[in-house]
Amino acid sequence: MPQKKPLVVVTRKLPDPIETRMMELFDARLNLDDHAMTKAELMAAVAEADVLVPTITDRVDGEILAQAGPNLGLIANFGTGVDHIDLAETKRRGIAVTNTPNVLTEDTADMTMALILAVPRRLAEGERLMRGGEWHGWSPTFMLGHRIWGKRLGIIGMGRIGQAVARRAKAFGMSIHYNNRKRLHPDIETELEATYWESLDQMLARMDVVTIHCPHTPATFHLLSARRIRLMRPHAYLINTSRGEIVDENALTRMLIKGELAGAGLDVFEHEPAVNPKLLELDNVVLLPHLGSATLEGRIDMGEKVIINIKTYADGHNPPDRVLAGMF
């Protein structure tokens, strides 16, 4: 008798090649219209699924997991961050959780570098001016921004993405500085010409550009609090392509309005998809709709990792990208 295919519930629309492969391998229930599942839909999904494939838009909390049926053995997250999943509860219930590490590094680093360039050089502001028909010709003092060559870049979180950003920024002539839970190996510091700061406060007070690359955990919620943002110099820029909850968005907005910070490049928001309406009014902010990993290549790579994790689990083995409580 052939082995029964696991029932896999996918919460959002995935790239066509991934969905096709899932339908071949599993009893896959797809979200063809790509709507964000309601709490009731998620409860129904975990009640009958063998495997749930959620994304960052799905909060798989204790209330949802309380409805988990006896067959739910794996939550194969489509994404790297798992702060939307109650890992303590999944551990208590014996439900394995996997993610998709190491496939989004270069895409996110590219987007970060794009923002590091775009904000000081006022690219978005200039593009809006052009489309509004308000450009009337070149002049020596028109739309002056700031060069990034020779500026100090402070990286918060020097994992794979942080290091990929450092390599790009170094090529643009920036001086690399970082704060991390653990200091990097001296060989990596030498390669990146990176200076380690044990004190985040001291680093923030001395940087020209600060970029965030740590995960969102209870320990990093509002890591950049109002107090810490105030440590940054008035000419400095803040870049965030990690998680919106790491920054006190209201405090950041107030400082930008008052001119106490030169600008910001934000791809993530504290209450997304909601954005502080006052941010939308500011010319010194570049706002993007969570595009950090939004490449077709990246999404397919993510999907392939999800499939490998599910297939390995279904074959009775430990999935390669299993997440353990306390990892993040």
Catalytic positions are 243, 272, 290
Contacts of 129 (CB under 8 A, 6+ apart): 135, 143
The 8-class DSSP code of residue 244 comes to G
Q: Give the count of beta carbons closer than 10 Å to the beta carbon of residue 198.
A: 9
Say if strands 237-240 and 51-53 run parallel, antiparallel, or are unpaired.
unpaired
Given a contact cutoff of 8 angstroms between Cβ atoms, the answer to whether 236 and 190 are in contact is: no
Q: Give the count of beta carbons closer than 10 Å to the beta carbon of residue 273.
A: 9
- DSSP for 186-235, written as a single string: HHHHHHHTEEE-S-HHHHHTT-SEEEE-----TTTTTSB-HHHHHHS-TT
Half-sphere exposure of 94 (CA within 13 A, CB side): 6
